[in-house]
Amino acid sequence: MSINELLDEEGIDPKKLFDEKQYSTLVIDREGFSKAENDIADLIELLLQPTINREQSEEVFSSLKAKNAQEMLVQSIEAAETNEEKAKLIAACWECGLDFNKYYLVFTTLACHSDFMIALEAFTVIENAEHYPAQEVLAQALSIVNNTNSKHTSIINDLKVHLQNGFQE
């Protein structure tokens, strides 16, 4: 199934819309959206479809990168209702290869999350950043990490090392 087929509204069975095994329930408020923003929202919703395969995901990641979809991806992560949706959307952030340094503290907070997959995917976004943010942001991130009570000590320890390395650059 191609992206165009997935985006075809006639291809969606309305009876299945509220079946979590068939469709995602992420609701993106599209009031006032431009065509480009609607396109990005469609792509993000596609990522959460259980029927999407790896090849389709790669096409979506490419399209999200081409559309510089950082802001809407972060908004969608914040709006996601389940940990599984959050983790998938966070993974999309590093898989699409965009720069999320503007949202460094958001991902630092998510890396301290109680859900392991959310924490792991958020740490991966931070680790894959092209460069470290400003020293002030690193200091804030380190403060967040030092004050967490996350039980995922391996992620937290790796994150601390990563942040401390940023002060050396």
- On the question of pLDDT at 25 being above 50, the answer is no
pLDDT, averaged across the chain? 87
- The reply to whether 83 and 164 lie within a common domain is no
- The reply to whether 132 and 78 lie within a common domain is no
pLDDT of residue 41: 86
- The reply to whether 115 and 149 lie within a common domain is yes
Asked if 57 contacts 65 with a C-beta cutoff of 8 angstroms, the reply is no
- The reply to whether 138 and 89 lie within a common domain is no
Residue 164 lies in domain: 99-169
Share above pLDDT 90 across residues of the chain, in percent, rounded to a whole number: 72
- The reply to whether 111 and 139 lie within a common domain is yes
Taking residues 94-100, what's their average pLDDT?
A: 96
- The reply to whether 153 and 134 lie within a common domain is yes
- The reply to whether 117 and 62 lie within a common domain is no
Q: Label residue 83 by pLDDT band (50, 70, 90).
A: very high
Cα–Cα distance measured from residue 163 to residue 156, given in angstroms and rounded to the nearest whole number: 10
How many domains does the chain fold into? 2
Last residue of a domain, one of 45, 75, 98: 98
- As a residue count, the chain comes to 169
- On the question of pLDDT at 89 being above 90, the answer is yes
Last residue of a domain, one of 42, 69, 98: 98
Last residue of a domain, one of 44, 79, 98: 98
Taking residues 112-123, what's their average pLDDT?
A: 98
Span 146-167, pLDDT tens digits:
999 999 999 999 999 999 999 9
pLDDT of residue 35: 78
pLDDT of residue 169: 77
Cα–Cα distance measured from residue 92 to residue 125, given in angstroms and rounded to the nearest whole number: 9
Residue 73: both structure tokens together: 């991806």
> 108-111: long-range contacts at Cβ-Cβ below 8 A with a sequence spacing of 24 or more?
108/140, 108/141, 108/144, 108/145, 108/159, 109/144, 110/77, 110/86, 111/145, 111/155, 111/156, 111/159
Q: Label residue 37 by pLDDT band (50, 70, 90).
A: confident
